[in-house]
Amino acid sequence: MNKIKGAALRYRIMAWVTGVVLGALTIWLIVGYGFMDYANTDVKPGLYRLLWTAHGWLYFIYLIVGVDLAFRMRYSILRTLGILIAGTVPFMSFVAEYFVHKDVMTRVAAQPVDPA
């Protein structure tokens, strides 16, 4: 159970981190291309590019912790895919995290205390 709790916490942190970065970038993209002429690459700030690069690697970590938790929770392959893909859709990682967290809490509560 402790292992599941640890995996769930790691997943929770990564779901929030990738979710916040992707959400911020989505809003930034809409504002930048909609109102600030980012199509003209000269005005695109370095931080904006850097964050997209960072998001690529954050999502990679999200995949690792997501697969780890899904395996420990014995989720079906389709449910696992759903959780992993949620990380690429803006604001969906929060939704996925909500349901996964609820599920983990029920599972932990249902289990007797781990003797180990």
Partner 1 sequence: MSNRPTPRAVLRTAVTPRWLGFAGLALIFITCAVVLGRWQWERTQDIIQAEQAAQSAPRPVEEVSEPGGTLANELLGQPVLAEGNYEGAGQVLVLHRSLNGKPGVWVVTPLRLTDGSLIAVLRGWLPDAGAPGAIAPNDRVAVAGVVQPDEGFYLEAKPAPGTVVAISSVELRKLWGPETRPGYVTLATQQPAFTPAPTPVPPTVVTDNAAFPIQNFFYAIQWLIFAAFAIVVYGRWLWRDAQEMSAKNPEDSTTVTPS
Tell me: does residue 74 bind partner 1 (CB under 8 A). yes
Determine the residue type at 113: V
Counting residues that bind partner 1 (by CB under 8 A) gives: 14
Tell me: does residue 90 bind partner 1 (CB under 8 A). no
Tell me: does residue 44 bind partner 1 (CB under 8 A). no
Nearer to partner 1 (CB atom), residue 34 or residue 56: 56
Q: Which residues contact 7 (CB under 8 A, 6 or more apart)?
A: 65, 68, 69, 72, 73
In order, the DSSP letters of 71-99 are: HHTT--HHHHHHHHHHTTSTTHHHHHHHH
Residues 2, 34, 35, 53: which binds partner 1 (CB under 8 A)? 53
Name the residue among 68, 74, 76, 62 with its Cα closest to residue 111: 74
Residues 34, 56, 112, 115: which binds partner 1 (CB under 8 A)? 56
Which residue ranges make up the site for partner 1 (CB under 8 A)? 49, 52-53, 56-57, 59-60, 63, 67, 71, 74, 77, 80-81
